[in-house]
Amino acid sequence: MAKELVFGHQNPDTDAIAAALAASYYLNKKGLDTEAVALGAPNDETNFALKYFGVKTPRIIDKADTKEVVLVDHNEAGQSVSNIKDLTVTHVFDHHKIDFKTSAPLFYHAEALGSTSTILYGFFKKDGIKIPKDLAGMMLSALISDTLLLKSPTTTDVDRQVIKELAEDAEISDYDKYGLELLKAGTDLSKKSEKDLIDGDAKSFQFGNKTYRIGQVNTVDIQSVLARKDALKKEIETENKEKGFAGFLFVITDILNSNSVALYFGDDQTKIESAFNREFKDDVIDLPGVVSRKKQIVPPLTESFN
């Protein structure tokens, strides 16, 4: 029989890939027979980590060909494989808000920690399972990526402790230095098309009865991204029309200064303004201090739309 598939969300970031690798390794040690796969090609940052630690890129799928699956770093159907409704989810490991429905009990563990990899580290530790060096490196990279090197408000004391332990397991003596290299590897946007930029890390969210899209890019130079506003607008409006999104919020985050601005094209612009208590000027809204989609963007939007 085919192995049970383990995967993170579409448009995988480093945590989606690393947590799938970690959960698969962990569950196999617990007696399951699983394979980590990815719902899309790794981004530049993840490729940097895969190469650095000599880890093979997981097989890429968009539809699962097994009956049972494990979800990591996501739980909402819209962020998962296209045939999720026909599958049985046996386990979820996640650190996001929950919008999940099943017809039978399952294993579900979520915690508001900085990364899903941080959560999985706890399971390895609880059961006394040693994490191989290369896997620890990927999990370390995921923790660094999701917390922007412990700067995101999603960072917890647990993350601050686990980063040290994972760095040790991964034999990284200076995780700050490694972390900056990793984050910078993901910020060279100059060679990317506007379509790449808006699709890169975008996720769909249901607010009311409509589907909205929220994308995010990390950069060290917000102005050079904003300089491409007209081309981004054109691409976003095409995507809204083709995929039926009611709106698209494109967040541009300065990882060095922990600030963001966002572009928005779509319905209900005023609901976005009231979510953040700020106004759009020329389609751009300032989001000072905002770096976390999960903690600082989705919750106020959910409140404002519902």
**Binding flag, residue 271, a copy of itself (CB under 8 A):** no
Residue 97 or 210 having the CB closest to a copy of itself: 97
Residue 7 or 207 having the CB closest to a copy of itself: 207
**Binding flag, residue 126, a copy of itself (CB under 8 A):** yes
**Binding flag, residue 108, a copy of itself (CB under 8 A):** yes
Q: Scanning the structure block, which residue is given the tokens 């490694």?
A: 178
Total residue count of the chain as it appears in this document: 306
Residues forming beta bridges with residue 69, ordered by sequence position = 5, 89
Among 100, 150, 165, 286, the residue binding a copy of itself under the rule CB under 8 A is: 100
Q: What is the CA radius of gyration of the chain?
A: 19
Number of residues forming the site for a copy of itself (CB under 8 A): 26
> Measured at the alpha carbon of residue 272, what is the angle toward residues 271 and 274, in degrees to the nearest 5?
65
Residue 100 or 280 having the CB closest to a copy of itself: 100
**Binding flag, residue 110, a copy of itself (CB under 8 A):** yes
Beta carbon of residue 186, minimum distance to a copy of itself (angstroms, whole number): 23
**Binding flag, residue 83, a copy of itself (CB under 8 A):** no
Among 112, 129, 227, 231, the residue binding a copy of itself under the rule CB under 8 A is: 112
> In this structure, what DSSP letter does residue 127 have?
T
Among 97, 160, 229, 233, the residue binding a copy of itself under the rule CB under 8 A is: 97
**Binding flag, residue 209, a copy of itself (CB under 8 A):** no
Contact assessment for residue 257 and residue 220, using Cβ atoms and an 8 Å cutoff = no
Task: For residue 35, give the H/E element and its range.
Answer: strand 34-38
Non-local (6+) Cβ contacts of 109 within 8 A are 91, 92, 93, 94, 119, 123
